[in-house]
Structure formats: C-alpha cells, structure tokens
Copies of this chain bind each other. A is one copy, B any other.
Amino acid sequence: MPSDPGAPPDSGVAPLPIIGVVRSARTELADTPVQSAVNPDEEAVLELDPAYLDGLLGLDGFDYAWLLTWLGHRDQPPGPPSLRQVPFLLGRQTQELGVFATRGPRRINPIGLSLVRLGRIDGTRIHFRGVDVVDGTPVVDLKPYVARFDRPAGEVRCGWFDSVAIAPGATPRQLRGPLEP
C-alpha cells in the first residue's frame, strides 16, 4: 500500500520493511506492561523473517539488545498524536508533558525502543525476556546493547521520571483504568 511520507503513518501499517514479529502472551495493550524494565522476567520470542537469518551472526555473544518496534497498532486511536500527553506512569495525575519528554507509544513516528535480555536463539526464533509489547507487534530493527555506547557515566537526571514510583509489571489499566477511546 503506498504511503505519503509527509503524513503520519497509517495506524496498523508500518511504512518500513518489517524484519520480524514479536510473539508474546499479551493480547491487550491495556494489560501489557508499559516498559520491558518493569516486566523483566516474562519471556517472548522475536520471530525473524527467515530472509534475514544471516543478520544474526554474532548476536549470541550479547546479553541485551534493543528491539525497535512499530507501535502503530490498529487499536490505537486514529489521527495524529497529541504533542502534549499525560503519561500512563503518572496514573490519575493530569500533568501534561511533551511527547519528546515521554516514552509513550503515541508518537509522530510510533517507534518503540525496548531493552530486552537475550536468551536462546533457535534459527530465526530469538527468545528474550522483558515484555512490553503485544503479540504480533512488528519489529523494524534489532541492535546489540553496547555498554560503552549506551550507558552514560554516573548519575543522570531523568526529568519527571525521577519523582515517579513504578510498580513491577505496571500496565496502563492498572495505572489509569480503562484506556480512553
């Protein structure tokens, strides 16, 4: 399906090649933990498109990887995302933040960034722990986590997150009740 690169992507259709799909036990966005770090033990599988098998050489030497996902789910609200949003992690508070100061999924480009712990790799089935996406989520890239590149030295300020308590396994429904339409 043609897409207009100047317009926000259609919900549900990634305008990029999909390298694979996540198979997880989560089926409802409202009941899916908001970050892999709050749900670090749950397992899922990245089913890589077999055409890309050769791209995995050497990945088994890494403990962690970045999963870049496409979050333009069909069940997300239509239309462009608001530039100011109340993050799920603020629960029932009403403080708005700019979308580029949040990690929420409703973005200009709904690309998710999940740090996952790599497990067994069986051919094109990459087992991992740390689940924050629903079953069927398209994956657009996989990058190894490299501590020298990805870990800033010392204590770092993390804005509004620094004053938020996050319960293990927190989901949108737990944080705020049923999702708004």
Assuming the A-B contacts A37-B148, A62-B101, A159-B144, are A83 and B55 also in contact, with contact meaning beta carbons closer than 8 angstroms in the complex? yes
How many residues on chain A are close to B (CB under 8 Å)?
Answer: 72
Q: What are the interface flags for A42-57 relative to B under an 8 Å C-beta threshold, 1 for contact and 0 otherwise?
A: 0000000000111111
Q: Which of B61, B107, B141 contacts A101 (CB 8 A)?
A: B61
Q: What are the interface flags for A104-133 relative to B under an 8 Å C-beta threshold, 1 for contact and 0 otherwise?
A: 000111010101010000000000000000
Question: What is the predominant secondary structure among interface residues of chain A facing chain B?
Answer: mixed
CB <8 Å contact, A58 and B156? no
Q: Which of B16, B55, B108, B151 contacts A52 (CB 8 A)?
A: B108
CB <8 Å contact, A35 and B149? yes
